[in-house]
Structure formats: C-alpha cells, structure tokens
Amino acid sequence: MKRAALYLRVSSVDQHPETQLHDLRQMAAQRGLEIVNEYTDRISGVKARRPGLDQMMADARRGKFDVVLVWASDRIARSVKHFLEVLDELDRINIEFVSFREQIDTGGPLGRAIVVIIGAIAELERNLIIERVRAGMRRARLEGTRIGRQPLTLDHDAIQRDRCCGQSIRQIAKALRISTATVQRVLRKPTSRAQPPEAMAKSA
C-alpha cells in the first residue's frame, strides 16, 4: 500500500480546509492509499515560503510518503515557476502528485504534461486580473480620482514650536493624532526656527 500525504491550503484564517480534507480522504480511500500525514497552510498562494508546504517537502526528502494529494493544483502555488519547482523536486525523489479537482496524476507522462499546461493557464489568468486592476487604476487617475490615502498635512512650525515649549514627542504625536516617528522626522528636518512664546514676546 502506497503512503500518501495530504496538502491543504486556504487563503486566510477565516476559511477552513474541511471540504478539501473530506474530498482528499475519500480519494485516498478509493485509491487504496494509506494517509500518513496531513499538512495545512493558511496563507496566500503567491507566497513561496509556507510552513506546511516546507515541512511537507522536508518529509518528502526523507522518504516519509510516496504520493502527495492536493484538492487543486493552485493549492500548491499560483506561480508557474514555483509550481514546477515543487513538481520537479517531487519527480526527482519519485513522489507522485495527484490533484482531486483536475483529476491529474503525475504517475504518467500525460499527467505531467497536463500539469504544465494548467499551471501556465492559471498564471496567465492571474496576470490578466492584475492587468485589469492596474488599467482601472490608470483610468481612475486620468478621471481625477485619487487612489490611496489622502496626503498627510503637517504644520511643521507648530510641531517645532510645541517641542521648544517643552512638550514631549509623545504628547505632540497624541495631540496631532500622528505617530511619534512622524514627529521625530519633522523635528529632524530644517524648518523656520520656532521660538518659545517667552522669546517671541520679548522680540515683540
């Protein structure tokens, strides 16, 4: 009986992998596979470094299982480069890759070819989505719509003056509802010299 590892990934902590887990356990039973470990990540697929995936690959190198079952090919990665790196390494250490949704099995050459094609299509789709978002942002800018936060307006002289009057950086930041780092950055910049009220009264 071949030993199987299940890999599951959801995009955020608000999602749950139970659906993926049920389907993969059922598929393992139908194929007569013994599940020896289950790995789960709750993280975006665009990140190549993932604790669950990293642990699974480390165990694969130690020969702890013979087959990797995933619910869909995009659970491994959304980058063709990273996807193929994982598949290449699994192939080098004689571990099969099986996807439930696409019904792909890399145990044969046809399955390997299909995986490459699907990975390329998935990356193309993602790039098209990104380009549509960028095009929408460009159109919004051309129409005069501001993208992102409103710029922060600071009274540099007032900050300098409050500091000269003995207020702490924390007090100034709290009064203006800005960070202490912003206050420190303003204080480091050369501005018109702010005088305390006593000095201003004498000069008058």
- Backbone angles phi and psi of 200, in degrees to 5: -65, -35
Active site residue 79: no
β-pair type (3-10, 96-99) = unpaired
Q: Please give the Cα distance from 97 to 115 (Å, whole number).
A: 10
In whole angstroms, how far apart are CA 49 and each of 13, 45, 57? Answer: 17, 9, 11
Q: Please give the Cα distance from 154 to 162 (Å, whole number).
A: 13
Q: Exactly one of 11, 44, 168, 179 is catalytic; which is it?
A: 11
Contacts of 203 (CB under 8 A, 6+ apart): 195
Mind spelling out the 3-state secondary structure of 47-113?
CCCCHHHHHHHHHHHCCCCCEEEECCHHHCCCCHHHHHHHHHHHHHCCCEEEECCCCEECCCHHHHH
Which residues are part of the catalytic machinery? Answer: 11
